[in-house]
Amino acid sequence: MSLNDLILFVVIFGSTLLAVVFPDVGAVFQPYLLYIMMFILFLSFMKIDFHVLLDTSPRAMLGLAKLVVIKLLVLPVLLYWITIWIIPDYAVPVLLLSGVSTGVVGPFIATLVNAEVSQVARMVVVTSVLVPISLPGLVKLLAGADISIPLELMVWMLAVAIFVPMAAVLFMRRFLPGVLHAMDKLRFPLSLGAFAATNFGVFSQYSSFFYQNVGQILMAVAVAYVLSVIYYFIGFVVSPKQKPVDKLAAGVSLAIVNNVLVIVFSSQFFGPLSPTLAAMYMFPFFTMIVPVKLIMNMGLLSAPSSEEP
């Protein structure tokens, strides 16, 4: 773990703790959560190369389409029904976390674990474009009978949160590259501040929940790790004939989710359990990098020699 990773951990979990202990301080940020989220996405989209979508070969397009369907439809629906059967209170939180877009830091994680970066970058772009429709639709279809869901408002919020930062990055690359370059030099501290502000705004709302439900917090951490393992495993096995770097890219595309978006989004429409699970996913989000790198280095993802690479 690098120094920046350690600093990120301290900021993420330190700000969460402070928001719970001193909720009045965090209340200042509550009205601005959507804008802070958009700023985080803007900073992340700065590093995304949108030209990766230009690979229109049949193999690339078919592989991308298959993984997108698994990410945005098959996996969230399957895990939702399994969770209803095992721990029904977590069904909607699991659905939200599983059905959200691939995290915009996915390409960075892919480089750390030696996965195919371009495949992950394509998943980031395509799932980000589709998730404003797919996620609210799934929630309405699967859980709409149990909870009151303003579908149009959810679609609008996700669309604004994703497309405005994306458009801003494209505009600045074209007309203000110098400003974008200057911001890029400050991207890490700006991201830390935005993450901390998000945690203050979200968890100050649920301070009493944390004090009264310590067991739920521990359960959320356990569920988060189980989900992360499932995401990586599904990614490894969906394309058995691919190269190890491609298998790992599929795992990263499924496991590195936009959980910060879920934190903000779910805090607007659902109870405290959904943003809590999304926040606790920060633990496997980063710590799973170590075992995944070991799996890659030990050659456990290599296909049998009789199969095509």
Task: Find out whether 141 and 72 touch, Cβ atoms under 8 Å.
Answer: no
Q: Binning pLDDT at 50, 70 and 90, where does residue 305 land?
A: very low
The CATH topology of domain 28-296 is Na+/H+ antiporter like fold (1.20.1530)
Task: Find out whether 34 and 161 touch, Cβ atoms under 8 Å.
Answer: yes
In order, the DSSP letters of 111-173 are: HHTT--HHHHHHHHHHHHHHHHHHHHHHHHHHHTTTS---HHHHHHHHHHHHHHHHHHHHHHH
Looking up tokens 């945005």, which residue turns up?
A: 72
Percentage, residues of the chain above pLDDT 70: 93
The domain locations on the chain are 28-296
Task: Find out whether 33 and 201 touch, Cβ atoms under 8 Å.
Answer: yes
Of 17-21, 104-108, 249-253, least confident by mean pLDDT is: 104-108
Whether the full predicted model's pTM is greater than 0.85, yes or no, is no
For the stretch 188-218, pLDDT in tens is: 899 889 888 988 988 888 788 788 888 888 9
Classified as helix, coil or strand, 257 is: strand
User: φ and ψ at 104, to 5 degrees?
Assistant: -70, -10
> Between residues 308 and 68, which one has the greater pLDDT?
68
- Provide the residue type at 165 as one letter: P
Q: What is the 3-state secondary structure (H, E, C) of 92-110?
A: HHHHHHHHCCECCCHHHHH
Classified as helix, coil or strand, 20 is: helix
Nearest one of 189, 192, 196, 191 to 22, comparing CA atoms: 196
How much is the pLDDT for 306? 43
How much is the pLDDT for 266? 85
For the stretch 142-180, pLDDT in tens is: 987 566 667 788 788 888 888 898 899 999 999 999 999
**β-bridge mates for residue 257, sequence order:** 102
How much is the pLDDT for 307? 43
Tokens in use for 160? 């604004």
